[in-house]
Amino acid sequence: MKRLSLSLLSLALAGSLTACGNTNKSQTDFTMAMGEDISSFDSASIADGGSIQVIKAATEGLMSHGKNGETINGLAESVETSKDGKTYTFHLRDAKWSNGTVIKADDFVYGFQRIFKVSGPYIYMFGSAGANIVNADKLMGEALSKKLTDKDLKTLGITAKDDKTVVIKLTKPVPYFKQLMTFTCFRPINRAFALKQGKNYGQNPKAYLSNGPFKLVSWVKGSKAEFEKNNTYYNAKNIKIDHLTINLAQTAQAAAAGYENGKVDMFFPTSSVLDKYKNKKGFSSYNTGFEYYLLPNLKNKALANKNIRQAVSYAINRDDFAKSIFKDGSTAATGFVPSGVATSPKKVDFRKDAGDYKVFTYNQAKAQKALNKGLKQLGKKVITLRVLYGTDETLMNQFATYVQNSLSKLKGLKVEVVATTKQDRVNNRQKNGDFDLSCTRWGPDYADPTTYLNLLVSSNGDNYGHYASKAYDAKMNKAYNSRNVNKRWKALVSAEKVAMNDLAVIPVFNQGGAQMINPKFGGIYTKPMVGTIFNYAYLK
């Protein structure tokens, strides 16, 4: 998941539902404490987990999430797909913005165009790395080079056939396209309203319109955001929360304290408080879909040697790391695509189909043997590797420390840890090749193996390790161009095998998550690609 400063699923969140009486009726209030702040409500310009979480509560796209996390119709009442799989026609239901304005097809046209206008961080999701919308890749290049014009924007493959019909044209069939349409970057934005607000759009309640279950009524950065049930929402009758308050920048300890004193009904325990809750009723763990891995700079002479990369991989005890350090359901990584993210046409998890790789199993003797062989090939007695990480990134301090301790046990290998910010790690050091091993993570944008495997295609802009394999690219191109779902899946499994045998990246662990929910409440869930959904929350 590109440029995310914090996963939706790793936020230290907390929620509280209480029945409050007023003179007219009983009111259900919901209070959630969130570990991150909110940067903006402009769906075109954000990529941080806090903003994504609240935008999901305040708005809805063409498609939405069902009670079990499945993809269902959202603002689209129905959808038709052309025989060649490259044209989607969405028919909008009768729906309104929170100010009473009717939602029209042009709101989606403008919402899609706006991300190119502002060069939003999720712009890549519209092109070949995601939705494959016609002309998106070309427009992305023009947007990033500041050469984009309004005339250019009209060539993007989305049109309003009429006020109730949205037509989206793709360059090729995308099996996960409907699921993509649940993501926040594909939200509609009312053109007239946004243009009137200018740079203030999404920066305060008066400069923002909701179309989802909740309407933003107040927001103080670093403090709290307050929402009310959006009575103009087409499904308002089924929303059981009347007032939503989100306390911002809360720690796990503060969330736990709130749970203990009855002010919080849901929070996400981290390792610091996990032991206290893991055996209590209402506790559960889940898969976040985030994989933490070491990215080797293959332009580094030492790391270009496969034996050196093997030594690094064998030296890390993934099981011990995941279970003893985090205790939150995190598991050892056994491949690049984590389990629980994508299933085959035959409903088999990708990880089960692809299998595990022995090189990711801890073996100190093999690590030392591989290092010795690599050093001999390099004509070196000792090499030094720099381990780069961002101090402001979730779990990265523990990750970097464990890697340093593990690799330092190898004779002939010196390890230096380079601490910086995520911004500097990604946009400066990785981009400019100023690293040896980078502590990296990636979360799924959609339920398909390509959300990870795209990263290793030689032409991908996020391929900071400079992995270039003709065999890998050929497998991926076969998958990209295949209309046969089974052959496509087989090609993706084969592609991962090529990359893992090459040790293009060194997977370490899959991040787990833990949640504690007051047993009095139901209907709340947390899933990869979805986040935490409160649309179906209710008091039992």
Is 305 a member of any domain? yes
Q: Are residues 202 and 311 in the same domain?
A: no
Neighbours of 272 (CB within 10 A): 12
Residues 6+ apart with CB under 8 A from 199: none
Q: Which amino acid is at 67?
A: K
Q: Are residues 318 and 456 in the same domain?
A: yes
Calculate the CA 475 to chain-centre distance: 25
pLDDT value of residue 136:
97
Decide if 253 contacts 239 (C-beta within 8 A).
no
pLDDT value of residue 24:
46
Decide if 386 contacts 311 (C-beta within 8 A).
no
Q: Are strands 63-65 and 71-73 parallel, antiparallel or unpaired?
A: antiparallel
Specify which residues 419 forms β-bridges with: 389
pLDDT tens per residue across span 18-59: 444 333 457 888 888 877 889 999 999 998 888 998 999 999
Is 108 a member of any domain? yes
483 pLDDT tier (thresholds 50, 70, 90) = confident
The contacts found for 370-374 with CB under 8 angstroms, 24 or more apart, are 370/307, 370/308, 370/310, 370/311, 370/314, 371/307, 371/308, 371/311, 371/410, 371/411, 371/412, 371/413, 372/412, 373/307, 374/302, 374/305, 374/306, 374/307, 374/308, 374/310, 374/311
Is 339 a member of any domain? yes
Residue bearing tokens 């809360």: 250
Percent of the chain at pLDDT > 70 equals 95
- Mean pLDDT within 123-132: 92
Residues 6+ apart with CB under 8 A from 151: none
Q: Are residues 158 and 244 in the same domain?
A: yes
Q: Are residues 27 and 74 in the same domain?
A: yes
Q: Are strands 87-92 and 76-81 parallel, antiparallel or unpaired?
A: antiparallel
pLDDT value of residue 25:
56
CATH number of the structural domain spanning residue 231: 3.40.190.10
Q: Are residues 407 and 442 in the same domain?
A: yes
- Mean pLDDT within 90-114: 98
- Mean pLDDT within 247-271: 87
Q: Per the structure block, which two tokens stand in for 499?
A: 């990359």
Q: Which amino acid is at 193?
A: F
pLDDT value of residue 15:
40
Q: How many residues does the chain have?
A: 540
Averaging pLDDT over each range in 72-76, 224-228, 443-447, 515-519, which range is the top one?
72-76
More confident residue, 429 or 262: 429
pLDDT value of residue 9:
43
- Judge whether residue 334 has pLDDT over 80: yes
Decide if 35 contacts 13 (C-beta within 8 A).
yes
Is 2 a member of any domain? no
Q: Are residues 363 and 242 in the same domain?
A: no
pLDDT value of residue 205:
97
pLDDT value of residue 11:
42
Is 193 a member of any domain? yes
- Judge whether residue 13 has pLDDT over 70: no
pLDDT value of residue 454:
94
Residues 6+ apart with CB under 8 A from 19: 26, 27, 28, 29, 539
pLDDT value of residue 526:
86
Q: Which amino acid is at 142?
A: E
Split into its structural domains, the chain has a count of 2
Q: Per the structure block, which two tokens stand in for 357?
A: 């790789």
Q: Are residues 217 and 107 in the same domain?
A: yes
524 pLDDT tier (thresholds 50, 70, 90) = confident
- Judge whether residue 1 has pLDDT over 80: no
When mean pLDDT is compared across 39-48, 352-361, 401-410, 528-537, the lowest value belongs to: 528-537
Is 253 a member of any domain? no
Q: Is 135 exposed, middle or buried (0-12, 13-18, 19+ CB in 10 A)?
A: buried
Q: Are residues 77 and 41 in the same domain?
A: yes
Q: Per the structure block, which two tokens stand in for 191?
A: 């053109």
Is 429 a member of any domain? yes
Q: Which amino acid is at 398?
A: Q
Q: Which of 515, 526, 520, 529 is nearest to 30 (CA)?
A: 520
pLDDT tens per residue across span 273-329: 888 999 999 999 888 899 999 999 999 999 999 999 999 999 999 999 998 888 788
Q: Which of 224, 242, 250 is nearest to 54 (CA)?
A: 224
**pTM, two decimal places:** 0.84
Q: Are residues 168 and 63 in the same domain?
A: yes
- Judge whether residue 108 has pLDDT over 60: yes
- Judge whether residue 91 has pLDDT over 80: yes
pLDDT value of residue 462:
86
Residue bearing tokens 């934005």: 189
Report d(CA 194, CA 178) in Å as an integer: 26
- Mean pLDDT within 118-139: 93
Report d(CA 33, CA 263) in Å as an integer: 10
Is 275 a member of any domain? no
Q: Are residues 123 and 212 in the same domain?
A: yes
- Judge whether residue 514 has pLDDT over 80: yes
Mean pLDDT (the chain, rounded)? 92
Give CA torsion, residues 513, 347, 441, 375, to 10 deg: 120
Residue-range definition of the domain harbouring residue 193: 8-248+518-539
Q: Are residues 360 and 475 in the same domain?
A: yes
CATH number of the structural domain spanning residue 465: 3.10.105.10
Q: Are residues 192 and 336 in the same domain?
A: no
More confident residue, 205 or 516: 205
